[in-house]
């Protein structure tokens, strides 16, 4: 299958080329030329399938021209070696826990899938590829872990100084080897802008092979559809229409869920729950897309004022606002509301939610005000220990530190401070 640029000013690319390029030459995001629904029998019998079998069937049409079946099965075995449980919190409200992977965040799936794909594509190559990625929190750690030690691949991670949690920062600054962390004097939007600028810099591109590991990359974005299918598999027996509430920042996760829906997954509605960075909630009210500077919050992985993947969502619905509105609601919540939700969930269910999951819960409850008859699943995108300061100041419980977090706390942070795109370019040119 080929992928085309949403700007429509660049040649189509194979999956392999789209992954390696990251973004099209015309600055557009890549999008699959077709999404063919899976047979209804797949969904009827989904409870009998393993997670690897579900993922293979879901992703096969997008990658099969470039990755042989046996290799794809091997990659999925490497990626999906942890659990994705749906945990009931209260009647008709459950959470899909996506924090059981190596860096305890949902991004482990996309980052590891992309790392495995690039490792396969560059087997036997002499030319190195540099993976450039901006992070507002969890992406950096997941990408660093996924690509650590992958031959022929160097990773450069940009993150906003002082705007990620201590654990998140340590996960991306303590690994060494082929991973370099650049600490940017600015916001996540500044980091993301630098990455996008690098992809258009002809002088830089003539010197090195660059790709992105943000969710703009199809190999990071598409695998996220897997766990919506895993959740459906677990919730199918409830025999109610399912609503997914997704804490949303760059909107790649919820967009992948909508691709799962296009594949035929039965789902009633999606809720995009945001913090005060409310560009999309505003759009869903007015029909006008107006990016804004990002604002720092306690749910920092969603501090995004111009979400890159929202254009993919609009494209999925042919830019038909009415059709999109039937399928998507979007609500915005403050830090105070987030803390109150964390307290309420703990008080009522003894469940510890991280700030992002709490916003997903709030989005679901808001939707329930007018749609009580559904079964709601909110995504818990990171382990609460990754936001230790916020969680322990909000609920009366001391969290124990899991082993995969403890090992990074014992290591020394190493980062390089930069301020401008010129600083980034100088660093890359002189590597």
DSSP for 398-411 reads PPPPPHHHHHHHTS
Tell me what pLDDT residue 194 has: 96
Q: Summarize pLDDT for 148-194 with one digit per residue, the tens.
A: 998 889 999 999 999 988 888 999 999 989 999 999 999 988 998 99
The one catalytic residue in 16, 21, 73, 107 is: 107
Q: Determine the pLDDT at residue 332.
A: 98
Q: Which of 35-44, 72-81, 124-133, 266-275 has the lowest mean pLDDT?
A: 124-133
Question: How large a percentage of the chain has pLDDT more than 90?
Answer: 83
pLDDT of residue 43: 98
pLDDT over threshold 80, residue 124: no
Q: What is the pLDDT of residues 193-210, one digit of tens each?
A: 999 899 889 999 999 999
Task: Give the count of beta carbons closer than 10 Å to the beta carbon of residue 11.
Answer: 11
Question: Residue with structure tokens 């190999």?
Answer: 219
Predicted pLDDT of residue 295: 92
Give the pLDDT confidence score for residue 152 in this predicted structure: 86
- Phi, psi dihedral angles at 41 (to 5 degrees): -60, -30
The CA distance from 7 to 234, in Å, is 38
pLDDT value, residue 286: 96
Is the per-residue pLDDT at 408 higher than 90?
Answer: no
pLDDT of 345 > 90? The answer is yes
| Structural domains of the chain, ranges and CATH numbers in brackets | 2-31+107-220+411-429 (3.40.50.1100), 83-106+222-399 (3.40.50.1100)
What DSSP character marks residue 318? Answer: T
Q: Output the pLDDT for position 213.
A: 87
Confidence of residue 39 (pLDDT cuts 50, 70, 90): very high
**Distance between CA atoms of residues 227 and 381, nearest Å:** 11
**Lowest pLDDT segment from 64-78, 231-245, 296-310, 335-349:** 296-310
**Confidence band of 87 (pLDDT split at 50, 70, 90):** very high
pLDDT confidence tier of residue 242, bands split at 50, 70 and 90: very high
Token representation of residue 97: 């826990």
Band (pLDDT 50/70/90 cuts) for residue 9 is very high
Residue 17 phi/psi, 5-degree rounding, is -65, -35
Q: What whole-number distance in Å separates Cα of residue 113 and Cα of residue 78?
A: 8
Average pLDDT of span 340-357: 97
Per-residue pLDDT tens digits for 126-154: 788 999 999 877 788 899 999 999 888 99
The verdict on whether 107 is a catalytic residue reads: yes
Say how far residue 30 (Cα) sits from the centre of its chain.
16
pLDDT at 403 over 90: no
pLDDT on residue 341: 98
Mean local confidence (pLDDT), 294-317: 94
- Determine the pLDDT at residue 250: 92
Q: Across all residues in the chain, what is the average pLDDT?
A: 95
pLDDT at 195: 92
């Amino acid at each position: 299958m080929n992928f085309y640029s949403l700007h429509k000013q660049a040649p189509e690319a194979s999956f392999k080329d789209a992954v390696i390029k990251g973004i099209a030459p015309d600055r557009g995001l890549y999008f699959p030329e077709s999404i063919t629904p899976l047979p209804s029998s797949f969904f009827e019998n989904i409870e009998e399938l393993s997670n690897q079998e579900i993922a293979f069937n879901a992703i096969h049409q997008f990658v099969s021209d470039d990755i042989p079946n046996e290799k794809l099965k091997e990659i999925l075995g490497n990626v999906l070696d942890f659990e994705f449980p749906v945990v009931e919190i209260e009647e008709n409200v459950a959470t899909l826990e996506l924090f059981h992977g190596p860096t305890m965040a949902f991004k482990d799936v996309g980052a590891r899938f992309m790392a495995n794909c690039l490792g396969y594509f560059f087997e036997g190559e002499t030319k190195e590829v540099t993976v450039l990625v901006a992070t507002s929190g969890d992406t950096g750690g997941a990408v660093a872990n996924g690509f650590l030690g992958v031959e022929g691949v160097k990773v450069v991670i940009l993150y906003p100084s002082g705007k990620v949690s201590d654990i998140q920062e340590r996960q991306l600054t303590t690994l060494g080897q082929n991973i370099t962390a650049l600490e940017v004097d600015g916001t996540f939007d500044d980091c993301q802008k630098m990455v996008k600028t690098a992809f258009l810099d002809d002088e830089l591109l003539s010197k090195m092979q660059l790709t992105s590991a943000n969710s703009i990359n199809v190999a990071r974005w598409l695998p996220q559809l897997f766990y919506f299918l895993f959740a459906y598999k677990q919730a199918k027996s409830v025999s109610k229409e399912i609503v997914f509430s997704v804490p949303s920042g760059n909107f790649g996760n919820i967009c992948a869920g909508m691709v799962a829906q296009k594949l035929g997954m039965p789902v009633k509605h999606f809720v995009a729950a945001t913090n005060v960075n409310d560009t999309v909630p505003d759009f869903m009210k007015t029909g006008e897309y107006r990016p804004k500077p990002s604002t720092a919050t306690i749910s920092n992985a969603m501090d995004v004022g111009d979400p890159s993947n929202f254009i993919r969502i609009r494209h999925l619905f042919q830019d038909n606002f009415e059709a999109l509105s039937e399928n998507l609601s979007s609500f915005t919540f403050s830090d105070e509301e987030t803390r109150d939700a964390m307290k309420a969930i703990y008080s009522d269910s003894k469940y510890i939610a991280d700030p992002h999951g709490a916003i997903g819960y709030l989005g679901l409850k808001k939707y329930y005000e007018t749609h009580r008859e559904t079964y709601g699943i909110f995504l818990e995108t990171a382990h609460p220990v990754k936001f230790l300061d916020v969680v322990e100041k909000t609920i009366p419980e001391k969290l124990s530190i899991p082993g995969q977090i403890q090992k990074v706390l014992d290591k020394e942070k190493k980062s390089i401070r930069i301020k401008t795109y010129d600083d980034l370019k100088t660093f890359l040119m002189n590597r």
